[in-house]
Structure 1
Amino acid sequence: MRLPLVIGGHIFRQGSVIVTIIALVFVFIFVIQHMTYTQTSGPSTGFIREAVDQALDSINIRFKGRISPISTEYNLLDLDETDPRLAELAAEKCTIEWMNADRLQQDHPCVIETIRRRYLHPPADLDVPYNLVAPNKADPSVGQATSILNYLGNQTKGFFIECGALDGEHLSNTLYMERTMQWGGVLIEADQTSFGKLLSRRRKSYALPVCLSLQPYPTQVTFKVTYAIGSVQESLTPEQSKESNMLTLQCFPIYSILLAIGQTRVDFFSLDVEGHELRILKTIPWHKVDIKTLAVEWDHVGEKPLVDYMGPKGYYVFGRNTVNVGNDLFFAKNDTRHR
């Protein structure tokens, strides 16, 4: 199994075999030197063992924290939150270019701090009134909010994620929860025009003008701007890439965003990203989060691939929405079946 290696504050990614070998050579030389000393001065075997341990510790090879297959799958550092190296990594050459080029781990401090510093907008103060186009419309969703709240027993003060939040009002799956049920959460909208309107609504939730990454690391992508159905574009002709409605946007894994907010327990995850839903779900380290319910649009992906993926993750389908603008599957965690 390959080892994560940290030398001078730098974490070398898996596959840096040469670096690991060089580090071990230094350890070997260190041991030989102490063995020579043993022959002349005669320290105990315990001293030599301690010297070897110190040498290994000096180059910070984490034998105890070897990368597990699941951490490899989800591209995780998996450093303990008390590890002093986290502070060094947060400041070490932390740029967007480095973050994307090196495909930094979802839980890398640089990724988390970049989200906090550059992209995360705080909630509006509770005493600031909403600025809505249709303030008398209690629930602008097309059944999602009602279905989820019914399942959760009209839970109050929950936490949501809404990806594909549009302007924060039109077709919002979470506005009713926020206004009436005292929920809070995070609103994610990649379309910059829609995001500007979202901020003007004075929602009482965090907001980010980014897209969700289709990979377990930060990426920059081309985004096609089309109101309500904007989406990430992966295959473009040279002519298409020059179109005025094509923008370059920064994407982050959803897990990175949750870490930046400090919230990994989620009561409702609304995912509507025009065809990339399954790929986004596959970036989530499910063993690191607790997501109770989800509404996932299935138009482009189809129901079966979503059900086949979510089943082994511990989720079952408890409902469907077949309205033209909201073809969703409603998932719930198996341990909530009693509701």
Structure 2
Amino acid sequence: MIGGRSRTVWRPAVLLLAGCYITFGLLYKSDDFTPRSVAIPTRQLLPQQEDNGLKHKLQKPSSQKWKFLLDGSVEAENPRVITWIREEHLYPPSSLPYYLETGKNIDFTQLDYWQRVHEGIMRLVNGKRGGFFLEAGALDGYYQSNTFFLERDYNWTGLLVEPNPVFFQSLLTRHRRAWATDLCLGTKPYPVKTEFWVHTGPDPEQSLIAASRSGLLKEHLENYEKEGLESGSVVEVNCVPAISILSALNVTQIDLFSLDIENAELDVMQWFPFDRVHVEVLVVEHWTAEDPEDSRAFVRLVEAKGFSFYRRDNHDYFFLHRTPRWVLARPGDSGAVDNLEPYKTIVKAL
């Protein structure tokens, strides 16, 4: 009787525990698209803080166990690379309200060059909803963004890439409905650690304008060496081939690829997996020499990747995939302008 009574008492308990275990597993099961163990930052509605020259390190240091990934000998899609990206360098979309304060920085929506690029993008998108973007050079996630209004008004999502540690911290407080990474798109076919120039500028009230010149050190020195090294800092950043991050997110189609990384675009595009990831619209900021042949050579290079040149606004180039999946615009239509008119001088702060 004692043994029978024990079985009678424990059987319901065992069944209850099993049910709880199954329920817990179902609740916390995630599909393959959602990286497991992604570090989720504290997302508080904080005002953007004034940068004082990187007195504190804002990037998460890579743990000791992952250091071997950055010695230039590991393949881009090595499973350990993908796990490292998911665990330490991918931040999921936020569901909190947007924080759009820009402090004393100028109203970027009044900037001539931003307006011209934005108008070109909106012509091509033509009201499409639910697209996926990749914005490399995302700054703080709002200022001069080529993707924010697609996200807010047309329910797009995507991936925001910003290795500048100061900007990346601000980007997270914007609460974008998109993935974010503090990695930079690599200019090599393997992960590496490299130096990044954080341009702070002499006027903290115009920090966003000044820091838009930040970039990989080599490219900074080539373009801004006359300004010297007085107005910024050099930090180390982790760079990986684009396919590494896209594989971590299982992304195979990008509806808008916005590439603005201060003259490192050609090297990034060299290793971008255009043969495996369909890019519908490509918008690239690329500074070319005054010689028209320089611009034509750049267009030919991109067209060799499977694109057709669509339009240009000064140093912003638009390309369409040669076999589009949804874009209706084609080269030669009314929106395909070739405007070399210089952008207007940046206005003063409002």
| TM-score w.r.t. length of structure 2 | 0.62
> What displacement does 1:138 show?
10
Question: Which AA in structure 2 matches 1:232?
Answer: L
Tell me the equivalent position of 1:318: 310
Tell me the equivalent position of 1:303: 295
Question: Which AA in structure 2 matches 1:99?
Answer: L
The correspondence for 1:262, drawn from 238, 250, 254, is 250
Deviations 1:243-266 (A, max 9, x none): 960111101111111111111200
| TM-score w.r.t. length of structure 1 | 0.64
Tell me the equivalent position of 2:28: none
| Unaligned stretches of 5+ residues in structure 1 | 1-80, 82-93
Tell me the equivalent position of 1:232: 216
Distance 1:309 1:95, change over 3 A: farther
Contact 1:221 1:234 in 2 (8 A): no
> What displacement does 1:191 show?
1.0
Tell me the equivalent position of 2:144: 171
Secondary structure of the 1:167 match is coil
> What displacement does 1:193 show?
0.9
User: For residues 86 and 151 of structure 2, what CA distance do their matches in structure 1 show?
Assistant: 22
Distance 1:103 1:303, change over 3 A: farther
Question: Which AA in structure 1 matches 2:213?
Answer: I
Question: Which AA in structure 2 matches 1:221?
Answer: T
Secondary structure of the 1:288 match is coil
Tell me the equivalent position of 2:332: none
Contact 1:190 1:211 in 2 (8 A): yes
Distance 1:176 1:139, change over 3 A: farther
Contact 1:221 1:251 in 2 (8 A): yes
> What displacement does 1:110 show?
1.3
Secondary structure of the 1:143 match is helix
User: For residues 73 and 288 of structure 2, what CA distance do their matches in structure 1 show?
Assistant: 27
> What displacement does 1:154 show?
1.9
Secondary structure of the 2:98 match is coil
| Structure-to-structure mapping, 1:92-111, within 5 angstroms | 95-111=65-81
| Structure-to-structure mapping, 1:110-149, within 5 angstroms | 110-125=80-95, 128-133=96-101, 141-149=114-122
Secondary structure of the 1:245 match is strand
Tell me, yes or no, if structure 1 residue 162 matches structure 2 residue 132: no
The correspondence for 1:289, drawn from 269, 277, 302, is 277
Deviations 1:129-180 (A, max 9, x none): 1111169x89684333332232233211100011111111110000110000
Tell me the equivalent position of 2:320: 332
The correspondence for 2:184, drawn from 211, 214, 217, is 211
Distance 1:275 1:138, change over 3 A: closer
Distance 1:131 1:316, change over 3 A: same
| Structure-to-structure mapping, 1:40-51, within 5 angstroms | none
User: For residues 118 and 249 of structure 2, what CA distance do their matches in structure 1 show?
Assistant: 23
Question: Which AA in structure 2 matches 1:123?
Answer: P
Distance 1:138 1:224, change over 3 A: closer
User: For residues 127 and 98 of structure 2, what CA distance do their matches in structure 1 show?
Assistant: 22
Contact 1:142 1:171 in 2 (8 A): no
User: For residues 109 and 178 of structure 2, what CA distance do their matches in structure 1 show?
Assistant: 17
Deviations 1:98-125 (A, max 9, x none): 2122532222111111111001011101
Percent of aligned pairs sharing the same letter: 30
Greater RCO, 1 or 2 (C-alpha within 8 Å, sep 6+): 2
Question: Which AA in structure 2 matches 1:279?
Answer: D
Secondary structure of the 1:199 match is helix
| Unaligned stretches of 5+ residues in structure 2 | 1-31, 33-63, 200-210, 222-227, 330-350
Deviations 1:212-241 (A, max 9, x none): 1111111111111011111112498xxx99
